[in-house]
Copies of this chain bind each other. A is one copy, B any other.
Amino acid sequence: MKYSKLVGKTVRDAPTDAVFDSHKLLYKGGFIRESTAGRYYFLPLGWRVHEKIKAIIKNEMDKTGAQEMIVPVLHPLHLWQETNRTQSAGFELMTIKDGREFQFALGGTAEEMFVDLVRNLKLSYRDLPFNIYQFSTKFRDEIRARGGLLRVREFVMKDAYSFDRNDKEFNKVYEQMAKTYSAIFSRLGLTTTKVEADNGYIGGEYCHEFQVESAIGEGRFFVSENGKYSAHEDVAKFKRDNKNIDEPLKPYKTVEAIRGTTMEDGVKLHGLPLWQQMKCVMFFNQNQQPITNNQQLILAVIRGDYDVNETKLAHLVGAYHLRHATVEEIHSIGSEPGFISPVGLKGKVKIVGDISLRTVRNMYGGVNKKHLDSLNMNIDRDFTVDIEGDIAMAQPGFLAEDGKSKLVEKRGIEVGNIFQLGYHYTKLMKGANFIDEDGKEKPYYMGCYGIGIGRTLAAIVEKFHDEKGIIWPKAVAPYDVHVVEVKSREYGVKRKAEEICGQLEKAGIEVLWDDRENVSPGVKFADADLIGIPWRAVVSAKTGEKVELKRRNAAEARMVSVAELVSLLSC
């Protein structure tokens, strides 16, 4: 490919709103351009990388026996209604009507579409297991699209859906997909950490994310020092340490409390440790159809030195969206902001207690009245909770659940995820059954598996670049070698460059040939560094029958013959 004719050449400046290196470099190198916020053009260079990533994913998926296919972009909205996802999809779902007023969703994922297909195929146990996947554009109407390809509103995703007879068969597929994902990312040059994660809008009981460690990553996760545990902050478990658990229960009493409404105000007034204070946070469940109408208010109760993890809380109470309760809502059930207590609120709100309430005795806190506090509150004796569980946010230094190793905080870019779906979709969607060996209809046991191509591409750039530009791993480089002709007009240079490029291409090597005549060698070298093709081969009046070959990230160049170059690049 002649660089003079390439659409999308290097430019000096990145957009002013570009913060991340991947965004800046992909823009400046001529790989991408933004259309509207979060919707990108992939220019020819960028598309070559995109398609190489795709080919590696396809190759590894096919090795497992997964079968590629495609579903329509416009999903009938009634399918999303069958599974209640018009309200629960975590991303903002975009919908559209056709000329006949038929409603469609622009797919953000495609569980319903695959299940609808499969249920209509009327299969039997003999057809199982199978795993079907597609590469297709996904739409997520994110409020904030930022960071180049890291958070977008439109992107190509590989999404796979497995259909099994039961959980036992499924477990094999899930493990296989986890291995396949590691293999895919490894071929792309990325080291990933598989972390337990929140299944969010997808449903099912458990899932894992593949995170590429990166300081700029949006995902925060924890890894235990012994490496045995890793989990996203949304779901990370930890061992609660016992505090004054041997202290005898003291009598409950109320005391005047002229104080502010923060936890610190409580500590200061009573001169007691933060962990002994009871933290009470009121939430409002925004589900359109709560399980019971009088339980839209949810009181989370936890040890004072812990924070409430809203994701864990939402799952525990079956909510799609939680928000903090307003002052009016707190007053409406006879309580008082900053002085909330579970004592006396039973039946008025749904009380959810963290298991940490059993690691402390004689807690102190409010009594649902302004300027009145209680001392020596104890679970079971002074109050009970409606649900007791894990609603605490892990923090660095906390012990992992096995009690053996401390949690270390990491940030990462989520490049893939795998979900157990179980019967979540096949029980909600009527007739999503196969005929089992005993002749009975049984629902499919499912999993799903996603990789976002654009974000993976950006993660590669985040990992592989220096101050001069990108340093593509060989497997995904847009071209194998960047041939730079220096001073094209000097005798024979252009002819020689053309001959060399011809020989390389004949040998199946992908060549980007900087054939520009009016551009200085310095600019050409800088462009080559910015674009980041793994090898640079300079052809000049001085290089004779050889080329001056340099690795993108090496300091030294060396002279090699064209034959040597071919054999080096072919391996």
Residue positions of A touching B, CB distance < 8 A: 1, 4-9, 33, 35-36, 39-44, 46-47, 50-51, 65, 67-76, 92, 94-96, 98-99, 102, 104, 106, 113, 116-118, 120-121, 126-127, 130, 132, 137, 139, 141, 143, 153-154, 516, 518
Contacts and interface: CB of A to CB of B under 8 A. Distances in A.
Contact of A4 (B43, B47, B71, B126): B126
B69 A44 contact: yes
Contact of A106 (B67, B96, B121): B96
B7 A67 contact: yes
Contacts of A94: 96, 98
What does DSSP make chain A's interface, helix, strand, loop or mixed? mixed
A22 to B, nearest CB: 18
Given A5-B127, A36-B102, A141-B98, A154 B69 contact: no
A7 B41 contact: no
A92 B101 CA distance: 13
Nearest to A143: B99
5 contacts: A7-B69, A73-B73, A95-B96, A126-B516, A137-B137
B70 A35 contact: no
Contact of A44 (B4, B67, B75, B143): B67
A398 to B, nearest CB: 37
B113 A72 contact: no
A130 B7 contact: yes
Given A4-B126, A36-B72, A126-B518, 6 more contacts: A7-B69, A7-B127, A40-B72, A41-B117, A73-B139, A137-B137
A121 B8 contact: yes
A72 B9 CA distance: 20
A464 B106 CA distance: 36
A47 B133 CA distance: 11
Nearest to A156: B70
Contacts of A70: 41-42, 47, 50
Contacts of A132: 7, 44
Given A33-B117, A35-B116, A154-B74, A99 B106 contact: no
Nearest to A46: B69
Contacts of A98: 94, 141, 153
Given A36-B102, A74-B154, A96-B106, A7 B47 contact: no
A378 to B, nearest CB: 47
Contacts of A99: 92, 141, 143
Given A35-B76, A113-B35, A127-B4, A69 B47 contact: yes
The residue in A7, A96, A141 that gathers the most chain B C-beta atoms within 10 A of its C-beta is A7
A475 B7 CA distance: 31
A76 B113 CA distance: 27
Contact of A5 (B4, B9, B42, B130): B130
A65 B7 contact: no
A361 to B, nearest CB: 49
A154 B106 contact: no
B153 A39 contact: no
Contacts of A116: 35
The residue in A68, A69, A116 that gathers the most chain B C-beta atoms within 10 A of its C-beta is A69
